[in-house]
A and B are shown apart, each in its own frame.
Chain A
Amino acid sequence: MGLDFGPSGEQDGNIITTTIDKVVNWGRKNSLWPMPFGTACCAIEMMATLASKFDLSRFGSEAIRFSPRQSDLLIVSGRISIKMMPVLKRIYDQMPDPKWVISMGACASCGGVFDTYTLIQGVDQFIPVDVYIPGCPPRPEDLIDAVLQVQEKISSGASPKGVEVIYE
């Protein structure tokens, strides 16, 4: 977390120093509120990830919000059709900054086996994606791994993919 003890280097004092960024990022990292956008079988795996057996709350992400206004992590899990893409884009736009996006599974990432007229061949053509998860569908462990990668990204101070500068 980048904590340092006081200027004198003594450990008996009650002063520790850090930077605002690091404290804020630490908070963000450990309280990601996901907005689930489940449209297919990946969503079933996402539910399993959130339920007791895999228990995503161990990583601080259990507060699933079905309102984009209260979320900072969008999990796109499933096929996105050309009729659904404007809805997804709108939800992404409604989420407050900073926000991160996980593209879960083959369909969301590249269209998967559905190389057809109606399916978006990868949501990253229209919204910025931070972490991709391969698999059809991915195991819950893969989704946990992706959340951990987002956490790593946050604590490293890197900007989300869709935002150019967030820290002054």
Chain B
Amino acid sequence: MSIMTDVSPSAARRRSVPRFVWVIAAIVALYLVAGVITPSFATFDNMLVIVRAASITGIVAIGMSYVTISGNLFALSAAALGAFLAVIFALAVGHLGFAAGLAATLLVAILAGMAQGLSISVVGNPIITTLAFSTVFRGLAALFSGNSIVRIDSDIALALGTGRPLGVPTQSWAFIALALVSWALIRRARLGRLLVLSGANPQTAIASGLNVRLATVVAFVALSVGVAIMAVFTVSQFSQAKADLFAGYDFDYIAAVLVGGIALRGGQGSPLQAALGAILIALLQNFMLLNGFTAGLRMTVVGGLVLLATGAFHLLQRRLR
């Protein structure tokens, strides 16, 4: 027992490359390769188009990253909640005007997030709980809309949904702002730290006197607010809401989180990674769309990308261990 050093052999080269750097590298590589193959791809206009396409999915993916980071895997209720909130927003704007409608939507979103977070701390399994909530939300959307299209006629909403300040769509501004704010919140806010620590090791968090239940509730409220923003933008853009909006989109949100390299175990990663993941997927989708890939093939490729990304990040983790 003579040598008592703490430096294990691999520790010296453990200055690991942050995961988001890999995602950015993948985005740049794909952009260059696709630009060579498809000339119309590597233009500034198309770059804007891609960010625009990533925006709506990305806003929810950023919210989803809170859930993943807090150690609750992911929610399967985001799309259904989106439809419900869209209907609520459309109805409320119709009856109360834009500002009140926005406030009502956010209020319902926060309540929906709290309900899910609290249920998960009772049930314990986020997948099953949010699956159940998903049918509840979809059902409520159908009930409230009476299975018909709810139209709104609001100039403010239309401006919000179709405006392009400085030539960039409002959705993209919101996406970028949300990514930066979320990044700062997770890094710097006390609640963000609570979320990260609760996800990193819930037992240690409890043993350190932290409120893990609060972390779960906060994460789901953050997701619900993201979903509300998506719903408000979508309803504003098309001036209408339906109960079957966003059907089948849940995988897209989760895919962005996974492709962004946020560890499913929780306690690691940042919302910025989810945003980058959404951009990477939008980039790939755009490339395939322009090259006439069928929808089935596009789905397969995106699914493959998710597998590839999770596998690669897993290997990366192991190598660094």
Same complex for A and B? Answer no
Binding site for A on B (CB under 8 A): none
